[in-house]
Amino acid sequence: MKHREHRIHGMVLAAAAVVASMPFTISAHAQTSFVVLEFPNQHFAQNMPDSETASWFPKEWNTYGSSSGRNPVFPLPDSAPQILRSGVEWSFAGAGAIPLDGPPLDNNFKTTAYTIGMPVGVSAAQGIIYAGDDNGYTYALNALTGKLIWAHYGWNMNMSNPLIDGDLVIVSTGNAYFNYAKTMQYVKGKRTVRGPGLNSIYALDRTTGKEIWTYHTPGEVMPTPVDVDGALFVGTGDGHVYKLETATGKLIWKTDIQSFVSMSSPVAGSGNIFLGGTYPNYFYAIDQQTGAIVWKATIPGLVATGISDCTPAYAAGIVVQEATIESGEPSNPVANLLLAMDAKTGKILWQYRMANGPVPPAMKTATPMIDNGVVYEGSPVSGNYHAFDLKTGHMLWTVHLGSQIRAGAAVLDGVAYVPYHSGDIAAIRIRDGKLLGKKHIGGSFGPSSPVIVGGTLYVSNVYGWVNALPLQSITGAESER
């Protein structure tokens, strides 16, 4: 059945390009959906968590990584059930997942990530773990058992971190490709659109996966929207930033920024949203109310989508973004550059250039995370992980993990948990950068920042898996913290 689904998926995506030529909203209650007819949404109500379990989890998830600082951590009090405080362990294989101890598809990690991977990370709310899959599915899983509650098929890659607002789950879809005509426009120096196929933002019922509304855009919607005061904001492959009404999908405004947005999920702060764009290469501040461009900033020597692949973080009036720049060294042609900008003016407060290295495949930047006045950031170029003072940019420590790092950290009780390309999760003591331990999961981790609830770490994998792990299995001895 899975093989048949993938064949049909390819045929429909080719035909759906015409459907996506103009943005519009569809009410799921006012149509007979060929998606539903061909792929009946799987729904297993018996796998829903009980109300007691659900009450210990966050109630909503409004932005990538759950907060503007991007630290998705939810400690529990001693009154919480022992199983939640000790941690659970399970694995869920999405459609087409491959063995974690085997090679990638066609021995190519990029092919694997763009075919069956869950590269971006999970969300947690009310006892449910939500995950998007690049084969088009969104999954809802019981956080204690890993059992499937529902699956929704979205007809394009789902690289978003699902949002939860009340009874709605918001997911967005798209892909990183250009069709031939758009590629020729790019070659001629003309404006282009990235993302052939059906590019959509879906609002799904939180407990059943049923479509409530759908909004289609001409370009990909790979980034995760941000949900602020009942409105969704997101940048797309057609060079616009959209503001939609969360409850209905109705368009409020859209702003033409010209740049297509790759994987830069917007962050909200100081009355603006912030995100990176490509061609032209700029970092933008957009007024939440009017859609006006408040400021935009760029730096010399940017490489490809090097400022548009990164999802920024925000805290204390400072927005932090990583970019990839040319190094000038032929044998190690690129480097990652971390920028801290004044959120109101765009002024660069400090910057740190990381080590030169080879061009990483696909995602060229890591996700910054801010917690308690410290910026934690990795480099997919050098394999180093760093900690910086948010206000001054002073580097506090560096640890070499030896493999490309694209995910943000989750910091709890003095330990930073960092998944990285080799399929490992590192536990780093934040006071001095000491590596306390690491656990090998297998497969590979992309920009899949982990989520911690109580004693469990939840993380998705490029090989098509979601894993739940007790924290103690990664950190080792408690006394070393």
Per-residue confidence (pLDDT) for residue 146, from 0 to 100: 97
% of the chain exceeding 70 in pLDDT? 90
Distance of alpha carbon 129 from alpha carbon 477, whole angstroms: 28
264 vs 18, 83, 159, 168, 318, CA distance in Å?
26, 36, 11, 23, 17
pLDDT higher than threshold 60 for residue 481:
no
pLDDT higher than threshold 80 for residue 6:
no
Q: What is the pLDDT of residues 230-254, one digit of tens each?
A: 999 999 999 999 999 999 999 999 9
% of the chain exceeding 90 in pLDDT? 83
Calculate mean pLDDT across residues 64-68: 98
Distance of alpha carbon 193 from alpha carbon 282, whole angstroms: 16
On whether the CB atoms of residues 40 and 112 are closer than 8 A, the answer is no
Calculate mean pLDDT across residues 382-404: 97
Q: Which two tokens stand for residue 253?
A: 């405004």
476: pLDDT confidence band, cut at 50, 70 and 90? confident
Q: What is the pLDDT of residues 119-162, one digit of tens each?
A: 899 999 999 999 999 999 999 999 999 999 999 999 999 999 99
Q: What is the pLDDT of residues 89-112, one digit of tens each?
A: 999 999 999 999 999 999 998 889
Name the β-bridge partners of 388: 375, 395
Q: What is the pLDDT of residues 409-454, one digit of tens each?
A: 999 999 999 999 999 999 999 999 999 999 999 999 999 999 999 9
Calculate mean pLDDT across residues 285-292: 98
Per-residue confidence (pLDDT) for residue 14, from 0 to 100: 30
List the single range of 76-85, 176-185, 225-234 with lowest mean pLDDT: 176-185
Q: Which residues contact 49 (CB under 8 A, 6 or more apart)?
A: 126, 127, 128, 142, 143, 144
For the chain, give the mean pLDDT: 90
Per-residue confidence (pLDDT) for residue 480, from 0 to 100: 55
For tokens 């030169």, the residue is 356
For tokens 């760029």, the residue is 298
Give yes or no for a cis peptide into 280 (omega within 30° of 0): yes
Per-residue confidence (pLDDT) for residue 293, from 0 to 100: 98
Please, what are the domains in the chain?
2-480 (2.130.10.10)
Per-residue confidence (pLDDT) for residue 19, from 0 to 100: 32
Cβ neighbours of 59 (radius 10 Å): 11
Q: Which two tokens stand for residue 361?
A: 């495949």
Per-residue confidence (pLDDT) for residue 41, from 0 to 100: 74
On whether the CB atoms of residues 144 and 83 are closer than 8 A, the answer is yes
Calculate mean pLDDT across residues 310-315: 97
Q: Which residues contact 271 (CB under 8 A, 6 or more apart)?
A: 287, 288, 289
pLDDT higher than threshold 60 for residue 9:
no
pLDDT higher than threshold 80 for residue 205:
yes
Kind of pairing between the strands at 456-460 and 369-371: unpaired
Distance of alpha carbon 470 from alpha carbon 270, whole angstroms: 37
Tell me the torsion sign for CA atoms 343, 348, 350, 354: positive
pTM for this predicted structure: 0.91
39 vs 5, 172, 248, CA distance in Å?
8, 18, 24
Per-residue confidence (pLDDT) for residue 305, from 0 to 100: 86
